[in-house]
Amino acid sequence: MFKKFTMDSFFHGADIYSFAKKLNIKPKDVIDFSSNINFVKPKVKLKNINVSPYPDPRYVKLKKAISKKYNIDKNYIQLFNGSTDAIFTIINHFDDVTLYAPIFSEYKKANKVQLINRFSNMYEIPPKDSLVVFVNPSTPDGTYYDLKKFFDIWCKQNNTVLIDESFLDFSGKKSALCFLKDFEKLIILKSFSKFYGCAGVRVGVLISKTKFKAPLWNISTFDEQFILQALKDKKFEIKSKIYVEKNKQLLREILENSDLFEKIYDSSTNFLLAKLKHISSIALQDKLSAYNILIRDCSNFDFLDEFHVRFAVKTKKELKILKKALK
């Protein structure tokens, strides 16, 4: 079924500025459980970043580093000013877009959108020749999917396929890059914002045999140098996965022991989706506001309702405050 959407249909988490204004506090005092940004950070020396020169228009060093990280041909790498820029670049090339939902709301800004409910009917056949978009691991629930059966369907339908792997680094699971050799119409989206904890650094990566146009110098020198330094921190990835997994278990225990939740979804990422028992997401947010805690109300995600909320994995100190607030 095709649906039309207005701008009022879209909402993104992590609006700490509006939340802080409402509470009459500073944004830095918000305890932000709505934003899925890694609380573990790579070692980056900001003072070593020289922003005087123009960036390399070909971004040779950055592409080489990304090529090494993902073990792919650097000629397949295209860089954009964040994942949102990459998303808009792709969806504007297609008249028909099929989304496996629930999904990140930016994808729904395409002209003509069909939704497939991956909770109840994930093997529904998409229209022939359309762009299909699949986030893996998914948002807002963090489920990782084995995509082989999906690719069998997409191949028969002659679909162009966009796999968004923005949260894959948290999971340690297999990438769709393994399909790139045999599936010509595959596009893979990578984001550094989430795993490397740098949402203010805008670098989105498309990996594809198809080329998409991008303006000259679409990534700043600062952004380029930040990511280059982050990728050199070899201990970060291992350390991050250990701490995130440990704190995710603590978060799950806090939610389970609060007696407010009917269901807590399994997740391969750095966040947990939960369904409330007796109160709405808005009521829970009001309760947590007394502690300056912001959570993600998931009622505007397709196929979810006003009883669904999402919590990002945070530091032990922040989790301790959440535990107190949920009592």
Residue 9 pLDDT greater than 60, yes or no: no
User: Is omega for the bond preceding 55 within 30 degrees of 0, making it cis?
Assistant: no
Instruction: Look at residue 92 in the predicted model and tell me its pLDDT.
Output: 87
| Same structural domain, 242 and 168 | no
Report, as an integer, the average pLDDT of 27-41: 96
Instruction: Look at residue 13 in the predicted model and tell me its pLDDT.
Output: 58
Token digits for 249?
């278990």
CA distance 223 to 85: 14
| Same structural domain, 17 and 107 | no
| Same structural domain, 111 and 74 | yes
| Same structural domain, 152 and 217 | yes
Instruction: Look at residue 5 in the predicted model and tell me its pLDDT.
Output: 29
Q: What is the pLDDT of residues 306-324, one digit of tens each?
A: 999 999 999 999 999 999 9
Q: How confident is the model at residue 32 (pLDDT cuts 50, 70, 90)?
A: very high
Please, which residues have CB within 8 angstroms of residue 242's CB and are 6 or more apart in sequence?
none
Residue 52 pLDDT greater than 50, yes or no: yes
| Same structural domain, 202 and 314 | no
CATH at 27:
3.90.1150.10
Q: How confident is the model at residue 2 (pLDDT cuts 50, 70, 90)?
A: very low
Residue 174 pLDDT greater than 60, yes or no: yes
Instruction: Look at residue 14 in the predicted model and tell me its pLDDT.
Output: 60
Residue 3 pLDDT greater than 50, yes or no: no
Instruction: Look at residue 142 in the predicted model and tell me its pLDDT.
Output: 98
| Same structural domain, 82 and 204 | yes
Instruction: Tell me what percent of the residues of the chain surpass a pLDDT of 70.
Output: 95
CA distance 253 to 242: 17
The tokens 């028909």 sit on which residue?
A: 96
Instruction: Look at residue 300 in the predicted model and tell me its pLDDT.
Output: 93
Report, as an integer, the average pLDDT of 230-247: 96
| Same structural domain, 89 and 155 | yes
Residue-range definition of the domain harbouring residue 282: 13-40+237-325
CA distance 207 to 212: 11
Phi-psi region of 158 (alpha: psi -120 to 50; beta: other; left: phi over 0): left
Q: What is the pLDDT of residues 112-139, one digit of tens each?
A: 899 999 999 999 999 999 999 999 999 9
Query: Is residue 289, in this structure, part of any structural domain at all?
Result: yes
CA distance 179 to 167: 18
Query: Is residue 45, in this structure, part of any structural domain at all?
Result: no
The total number of structural domains in the chain stands at 2
| Same structural domain, 192 and 70 | yes
Q: What is the pLDDT of residues 73-104, one digit of tens each?
A: 999 999 999 999 999 999 988 989 999 999 99
Instruction: Look at residue 203 in the predicted model and tell me its pLDDT.
Output: 95
The whole-chain average pLDDT of the chain stands at 93
> Which of 199, 232, 265 is at the close of a domain?
232
Instruction: Look at residue 206 in the predicted model and tell me its pLDDT.
Output: 98
| Same structural domain, 87 and 191 | yes
